[in-house]
């Protein structure tokens, strides 16, 4: 995988340009789209539904907007990677059938464009926090660690789904359902403490709950409110990467026969 880093970066750049090719604003949509997505969520949950955030660990003066963004940003990245990962190999069948083409760059190339969403959102969140809340919490310095962890998770997801998508063509439909429902079974629009204990198990079974809680600790709480989530999310990111890589590299030789 590391041997083809330059090719993967070049294909990622082309992937981003192709997403918005022929549109009036062109590549500027790479910035507009995540910004508009965040604003829509803020309007829907903050202004229309008027959701509030409360609890013993909620910092004084920090409102629902900050909480929503802290959990929503990593979820949007995961959602984008999952949505594109399931069809990344099947949509590039002409490249798969080329003997010398490094297949592992195909799922990887969709990841950098997804992280544009995260970077734009982080700039928006940091700007909002400074303007309306106060100084950024010290836990912002842990963001590189969380971003690296999220990237490892995304690579594993992309490898796993792109490989399985070759053999299970309905996978993309299951992924669409999960990404639609996922935001409601993740602690993004509510705190984990607000869930009844009987239903909390369901939220905890969501493999993305730990990393979302870790981002919320860093961006919203400004403290290690969920220290266990940091440990579990780190272990899960490595596990997802290893499983994804194992499945991809053990099945890639059969891709051409199924496409």
Q: Block means of pLDDT (10 residues each) for the chain, length 259 residues?
A: 62 65 61 76 72 75 84 93 89 73 82 87 90 91 97 96 92 91 90 85 91 96 95 97 95 83
> Could you write out the DSSP letters of every residue in 74-99?
HHHHHHHHHHHHTTTTGGGHHHHTST
> Could you write out the DSSP letters of every residue in 103-148?
TTHHHHTTHHHHHHHHHHHHHHHHHHHHHHT-SPPGGGGGHHHHHH
Confidence (pLDDT) at 140 = 96
> Could you write out the DSSP letters of every residue in 176-216?
HHHHHHHGGGSTTSS-GGGS-HHHHHHHHHSTTHHHHHHHH
Measured from the Cβ of residue 171, the count of other Cβ atoms closer than 10 Å reads 19
What's the CA gap between 221 and 59, in Å, rounded?
6
Sole residue written with tokens 């903050």: 46
Sole residue written with tokens 């069948």: 93
CA 226 to chain centre: 20
**97-to-7, 93, 103, 254 alpha-carbon distances in Å:** 18, 6, 10, 11
Confidence (pLDDT) at 133 = 86
Residue 16, CA atoms < 13 Å, CB-side half-sphere: 20
**What is the value of pTM for the model shown?**
0.87
Cβ–Cβ under 8 Å, residues 111 and 81: yes
Q: How many domains does the chain have?
A: 1
Cβ–Cβ under 8 Å, residues 165 and 110: no
Tokens of 2: 């590391």
Confidence (pLDDT) at 196 = 85
Cβ–Cβ under 8 Å, residues 88 and 171: no
Count of all residues that appear for the chain in the document: 259
What's the CA gap between 74 and 81, in Å, rounded?
11
Confidence (pLDDT) at 30 = 65
Confidence (pLDDT) at 17 = 61
Q: Which domain holds residue 101?
A: 2-258
Rg, C-alpha atoms of the chain: 19
Sole residue written with tokens 């500027």: 28
pLDDT, one tens digit per residue, over 161-173 is: 999 999 998 999 9
Q: Of 207, 208, 205, 211, which is closest to residue 226 (Cα–Cα)?
A: 211
**142-to-30, 64, 113, 151, 217 alpha-carbon distances in Å:** 25, 22, 22, 14, 10
What's the CA gap between 128 and 235, in Å, rounded?
32
């Amino acid at each position: 995988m590391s041997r083809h880093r330059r090719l993967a970066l070049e294909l990622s750049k082309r992937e981003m340009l192709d997403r918005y090719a022929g549109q009036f604003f062109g590549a500027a949509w790479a910035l507009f789209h995540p910004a508009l997505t965040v604003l829509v969520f803020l309007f829907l949950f903050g202004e229309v539904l008027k959701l509030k955030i409360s609890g013993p660990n909620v910092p004084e003066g920090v409102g629902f907007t900050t909480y929503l963004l802290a959990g929503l940003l990593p979820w949007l990245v995961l959602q984008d990677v999952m949505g594109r990962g399931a069809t990344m190999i099947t949509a590039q069948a002409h490249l798969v059938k080329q003997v010398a083409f490094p297949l592992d760059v195909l799922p990887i190339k969709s990841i950098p464009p997804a992280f544009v969403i995260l970077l734009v959102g982080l700039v928006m969140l940091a700007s909002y926090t400074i303007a309306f809340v106060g100084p950024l919490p010290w836990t912002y310095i842990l963001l590189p660690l969380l971003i690296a962890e999220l990237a490892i998770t995304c690579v594993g997801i992309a490898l796993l789904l792109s490989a399985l998508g070759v053999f299970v063509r309905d996978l993309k439909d299951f992924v669409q359902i999960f990404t639609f429902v996922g935001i409601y079974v993740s602690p993004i629009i509510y705190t984990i403490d607000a869930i009844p204990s009987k239903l909390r198990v369901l939220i905890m079974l969501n493999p993305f709950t730990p990393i979302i809680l870790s981002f919320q600790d860093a961006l919203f709480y400004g403290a290690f409110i969920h220290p266990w989530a940091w440990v579990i999310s780190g272990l899960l990111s490595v596990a997802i990467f290893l499983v994804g890589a194992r499945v991809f590299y053990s099945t890639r030789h059969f891709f051409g026969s199924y496409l």
